[in-house]
Amino acid sequence: MEYSALQVILVFIVTFIAAIDQFSFLESLYQPIVTGMVIGLILGDVQTGLIVGGTYQLMTIGNMPIGGAQPPNAVVGGIMAAILAITLKLDPNAAVATAIPFSLLGQYGVTLIFTIMSPLMSKCDQYAAEANPKGIEHINYLSMCLLGLIFGVVVTLFFIGGQAVGSAVVAAIPKWLSNGLSAAGGMMRFVGFAILLKFMMNRDMWGFYFMGFGLAIIVSGISSLATPALLILALIGFGFAYWDYQQNTELKGSVAVAADTDGGEEDGI
């Protein structure tokens, strides 16, 4: 399929924005169902873009980062799946499967950015102590631009070079680098749990903490529920949180009403 310079630029811009949105804007612009449609508009096949985006969305709906550990990246994978399906006339399911190596590159890119930015967190603490919000903003802008640039370059190069170039690049990644990034990502999940526990060191929360682990073991042990386990647990957690919110709201309302009701002055009470 022939493509123009304008299409290449637009694909880069869409990828750049989606990469930043995943961690900063949080407007769900990075979701495959959205990027698939946009890429379809750019390449002139919205129907295929929507089908591939929806298919990839279903595949990644249960994927979520735990702490700093990253799953295969939905931004790079979803955009490349749409590009491969439209430019190479691949079946949507085949395009989704073919895009998995590209999503792994996105995963490595996120881990790399996190690793690069980690030493700068102490600088952010210094800026906070100095009441210098501009310094913190500049560091945030730097990380956003780096991530968007890496994702944009990766997708654009593979868009121009095609599937063969992408597979060759993935295969050319040194084993030591791949293992190192995987190990770093594996350790980050424990760092994430440690951070969560730091904020959960409250005896009122430990019951929910252990109950969550128990439910995770039960749900994961049932084969028919193992795939959507995270979604099921998230819904259960939301249910408990909403119930707790309602109870606290009612209790606070009762206290406020009791405080306002003094019996009046007629009977001296």
Direct distance between the N- and C-terminal alpha carbons of the chain, in angstroms, rounded to an integer: 86
Residue count of the chain = 269
Q: Are 74 and 30 in contact (CB under 8 A)?
A: yes
**Angle at 112 (CA atoms; ends 56, 141), nearest 5 degrees:** 90
The candidate with the shortest Cα–Cα distance to 96, out of 123, 69, 76, is 76
What φ, ψ does residue 4 adopt, rounded to 5°? -100, 170
The predicted model gives 22-50 an average pLDDT of: 87
pLDDT over 80 (residue 86): yes
DSSP state of 118: G
DSSP state of 119: G
One DSSP character per residue, 199-223 reads: HT--HHHHHHHHHHHHHHHHHHTSH
Tokens of 181: 């990034």
Q: Is the pTM of this model over 0.85?
A: no
Tokens of 233: 């647990």
Residue of higher predicted confidence among 113 and 173? 113
Q: Are 68 and 89 in contact (CB under 8 A)?
A: no
pLDDT over 70 (residue 162): no
- Predicted confidence at residue 201, as pLDDT, reads 66
Lowest mean pLDDT among 20-24, 41-45, 49-53, 101-105: 101-105
On average, the pLDDT of the chain sits at 77
Tokens of 260: 């306002």
Which of 23-27, 56-60, 79-83 is most confident?
Answer: 79-83
Say how far apart CA 99 and CA 74 lie, in whole Å: 10
The candidate with the shortest Cα–Cα distance to 52, out of 18, 97, 7, is 97
Residues 109-134 pLDDT 10s: 787 887 888 888 888 888 888 888 88
In a 3-state reduction of DSSP, which class is residue 66? Answer: strand
pLDDT over 80 (residue 72): no
In a 3-state reduction of DSSP, which class is residue 69? Answer: strand
Question: Which residue ranges make up each domain of the chain?
Answer: 5-199, 202-260
What φ, ψ does residue 70 adopt, rounded to 5°? -110, 135
Say how far apart CA 20 and CA 14 lie, in whole Å: 10
Q: Are 7 and 43 in contact (CB under 8 A)?
A: yes
pLDDT over 70 (residue 163): no
Tokens of 87: 């430019």
- Predicted confidence at residue 136, as pLDDT, reads 86
DSSP state of 130: T
What's the chain's Rg over C-alpha atoms? 24
The candidate with the shortest Cα–Cα distance to 144, out of 10, 30, 40, is 30
